[in-house]
């Protein structure tokens, strides 16, 4: 049977193609909230990979979350244990992008205001991801190609990060990360991304340090 490959990055659509019902697809999204890891896991299961391998690779794809965790810890370390446990659950690319920029631009924010911000706007994104999954699973291949939904996610991500590219070290970091991740794209399981990120952020910090020394 010929099955058209979906062109858009929607987990729900893929889940429906792989025969998951809506309940399972949504539960998957609610429990994991990580697109790339969910895609990787589903594809590997389809290829009959051993369960443990599926989990390990799914987590490898998600390694950047640990980096987000360390960065949020610098902003929210004074929060109580259980609050931090909920902060952790809601970490995603979107919530991190919004919260990190807000906290860096307004270093004088009190902890309670930071938490209020974190759990309002950015956490909404997590809800949208889950709702989006169920819509995708429901609509499936009925979403027309001319909508070019495949490119909605890259545009949203560019718009999220662009305002943070406000100084030379930030631009050097961004350019390095983009170049390295393109060069390392053939590396399996998103490992190229995490290597590119680590090199780029150390370089950014070094450029910042040298600029401070010369000024």
Which residues within the stretch 99-138 sit at the binding site for other proteins (CB under 8 A)? Answer: 100-101, 104
Token representation of residue 80:
């109580």
* Cβ at position 65, least distance to other proteins in Å: 5
Q: Which helix (H) or strand (E) holds 45?
A: helix 35-46
CA-CA distance, 111 to 46, in Å (whole number)? 45
Q: What share of the chain is helix, strand, coil (3-state, %, to 5)?
A: 80, 0, 20
Count other Cβ atoms within 10 Å, centred on residue 212: 9
Binding residues for other proteins, rule CB under 8 A, total: 97
19 forms part of the interface with other proteins (CB under 8 A):
yes
CB 180 within 8 A of CB 196: yes
Q: Which helix (H) or strand (E) holds 55?
A: helix 51-61
28-57 residues in contact with other proteins (CB under 8 A) are: 28, 31-34, 37-38, 41-42, 45-46, 48, 51, 54-55
* Cβ at position 132, least distance to other proteins in Å: 16
CB 15 within 8 A of CB 28: yes
Q: Which is nearer to other proteins, 124 or 156 (CB)?
A: 156
* Cβ at position 120, least distance to other proteins in Å: 15
162-181 residues in contact with other proteins (CB under 8 A) are: 162-166, 169-171, 173-181
Which region among 77-85, 112-120, 125-133, 135-143 touches other proteins (by CB under 8 A)?
77-85
Q: Which helix (H) or strand (E) holds 156?
A: helix 152-161
Q: Which is nearer to other proteins, 78 or 116 (CB)?
A: 78
24 forms part of the interface with other proteins (CB under 8 A):
yes
């Amino acid at each position: 049977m010929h099955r058209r490959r979906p062109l858009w990055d929607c987990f729900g659509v893929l889940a429906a193609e792989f025969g998951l019902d809506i309940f399972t697809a949504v539960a998957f999204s609610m429990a994991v909230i990580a697109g790339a890891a969910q895609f990787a896991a589903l594809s590997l299961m389809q290829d009959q990979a051993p369960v443990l391998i599926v989990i390990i690779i799914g987590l490898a794809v998600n390694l950047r979350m640990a980096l987000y965790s360390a960065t949020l810890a610098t902003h929210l370390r004074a929060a109580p244990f259980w609050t931090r446990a909920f902060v952790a659950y809601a970490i995603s690319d979107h919530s991190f992008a919004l919260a990190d920029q807000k906290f860096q631009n307004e270093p004088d924010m009190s902890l309670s205001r930071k938490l209020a911000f974190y759990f309002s706007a950015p956490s909404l994104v997590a809800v949208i991801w889950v709702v989006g999954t169920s819509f995708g699973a429901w609509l499936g291949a009925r979403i027309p190609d001319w909508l070019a939904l495949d490119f909605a996610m890259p545009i949203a991500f560019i718009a999220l990060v662009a305002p943070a590219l406000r100084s030379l070290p930030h631009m050097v970091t961004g350019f390095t990360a983009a170049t390295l991740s393109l060069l390392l794209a053939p590396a399996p399981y998103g490992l190229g991304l995490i290597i590119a990120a680590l090199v780029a952020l150390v370089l950014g910090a070094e450029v910042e340090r040298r600029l401070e020394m010369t000024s």
